[in-house]
Amino acid sequence: MSLLIDSNVLLHAANRASPHHAVARDFVERHRAGAGFCVTWSVLYEWLRVATHPAVFRRPLSPAAAREYVRSLAADPRVEVLLETGRHATVLEDLLGESPPIRGNRYHDAHIAALMREHGVSTIATCDGHFRLFRFLKVIDPTEP
């Protein structure tokens, strides 16, 4: 699989109140029904954190409904959850060495980018432009016209 879908796209797809709901939902479902896509556990945990947060959504998902969605993704043979390999530390150091200085919350993005590089995934679907810091990635935003 050559595409990773970030938590923000998955959140738009799940949130009917989002102005990007329809396009994000269609994007996710098209890839889920087709060649598939990748996620990471950190993407899924971030999705759980935000999807159930009452300060973020007027009507957040219940913890049970949110966990069921994550279970359905993790069990889908067309969705691969990327895991660290034995070479993760080296891949991360190489990535950080070739990127602009990374600080703070960008380490979360660096972790995702390193996992992508480890597994040969070169495209990320995200609404977060910070992933452009990692020059090997092709960044697409399915919510942009």
Spacing of C-alpha 93 from chain mean position: 21
How many Å apart are CA 116 and CA 132, to the nearest integer? 14
CATH of residue 97: 3.40.50.1010
In a domain, 18, yes or no: yes
In a domain, 27, yes or no: yes
In a domain, 145, yes or no: no
Task: Provide the whole-model pTM.
Answer: 0.95
pLDDT tens, position by position, 79-105: 999 999 999 999 999 999 999 999 999
For every residue of 80-97, DSSP letters joined together read EEE---TTHHHHHHHHHH
pLDDT tens, position by position, 36-82: 999 999 999 999 999 999 988 888 999 999 999 999 999 999 999 99
